[in-house]
Amino acid sequence: MTKKIIGLSCGRKNSNSELLLKAALMAAEEEGCETEIIRAMDHKVTPCNSCWTCMKTGKCVKDDVDWILEQTLLSDSAVIVSAPVYHLRSCSYLMIIAEKTNHLFSKKEGIFERKRVGAAISVGGSGYDGWTSLGLTSINLFLQHFTTLVDQVQVDHCANIGAALTPDNAWAVERARQLGKNVARTIDLPFEKWKFLGQDPAVACPVCHCNILYIEKDFPEIMCPTCEVHGLISVKDGNYSVAWNADDVREPRFSGPKEAHHLHWIMEHEWVEEPRQLALPEVQEKIKTYNGWGNFIAPPKKR
Ligand SMILES: Cc1cc2nc3c(=O)[nH]c(=O)nc-3n(C[C@H](O)[C@H](O)[C@H](O)COP(=O)(O)O)c2cc1C
């Protein structure tokens, strides 16, 4: 891997996500890294509308997201994503970039081995009472596809442009610098030696190190919704603990075997099972009825 970090900032120009990303990259440069920044808001980023042209042509030409993904997902650099929290999760710039990756995975051999260094900075204006609870999880929904996460931090109380640089947030700049150094130093190590250098919350998924848990069936089983790592909760002498499934940790949702299984499942379901039922005359009749129904409204200029 080249000693280069590409920073993807999804917040405002010269504002908190970008400033904390710069703190991380400045510190990484002190460790001998080359760095580059992409400011997502400078580019055209439009949501996927499931046209699937990308799967036929190998690209999406509607906006600049393919270019952003070529620099991040498809490059050989380490990646630091810094994104603001909007309504509890990362802003839609990042969510859109993350959802437009499908047609590009096959363009990079071994991408799901995740032998790339990744790190996340999530920034919120408030953050108390769980107001930034899905920030790091959202960034992981992008990074876990192709990187091994070595550090992440949630920074709260940064509402105004530039607030990250106020005295109250001096700790956050220092923490972002540490994150940059952690990324730079990990690049120098062989893959087997890479490990998470951030601070785990009391209960954390061992892969994405977030603490958002999904109850698929019932207690005592829990699951990380991002990584599909299952865990069993137990309590002894009043102390709770989670035994995480070691196989899932080795092969999480975003790993070669699980991604291949998912692709196979979709192809079988979408191209074999569903078309069989869609061809049934009674289904076609129903589709016609439903398609012809509804009182759609739109702004006046579009009527
Ligand atoms: C539409 C919108 C929704 C927001 N929702 C939240 C939120 O749920 N929690 C929070 O802590 N901050 C929220 N914020 C505040 C931003 O996270 C905060 O201002 C952040 O510093 C913006 O990042 P930037 O300075 O890099 O643009 C929201 C801001 C906007 C514009």
Q: Which of 119, 153, 105 is closest to 255 using CA atoms?
A: 105
Predicted local confidence at residue 287, as pLDDT: 98
User: What pLDDT does 302 receive?
Assistant: 65
- 88 Cβ closer than 6 Å to some ligand 1 atom: yes
Q: Report CA(161)–ligand 1 centroid distance (Å).
A: 10
* Mean pLDDT for all residues in the chain: 97
Q: Which atom of ligand 1 is nearest to the CA of 9?
A: 26
pLDDT at residue 207, as a whole number: 98
The answer to whether residue 76 scores a pLDDT higher than 80 is: yes
pLDDT of residue 301: 87
The verdict on domain 4-199 having CATH code 3.40.50.360 is yes
> Which residue carries 């990303």 as its tokens?
21
Q: What percent of the chain has pLDDT over 70?
A: 99
Query: Quick one: average pLDDT of 105-124?
Result: 97
Task: Give the ligand 1 atom nearest the CA of 85.
Answer: 17
**Ligand 1 proximity of 127 Cβ (cutoff 6 Å):** yes
The pLDDT of 83-102, averaged and rounded, is 98
Structure token pair of residue 80: 């630091």
* pLDDT of residue 1 exceeding 60: no
Which residue is it, tokens 């129904």?
293
Which ligand 1 atom is nearest residue 87's CA? Answer: 8
- Output the pLDDT for position 233: 98
**Domain ranges within the chain, ordered by starting residue:** 4-199, 256-291
In this prediction the pTM is: 0.97
Q: In testing the pocket of ligand 1, which one of 39, 86, 154, 160 has its CB within 8 Å of the most ligand atoms?
A: 86
The predicted pLDDT at position 303 comes to 60
Write the pLDDT tens digit of every residue in 147-186: 999 999 999 999 999 999 999 999 999 999 999 999 999 9
pLDDT digits (tens, 9 = 90+) for 195-242: 999 999 999 999 999 999 999 999 999 999 999 999 999 999 999 999
159 lines ligand 1 (CB under 6 A): yes
Residues 176, 20: Cα–Cα separation, whole Å:
6
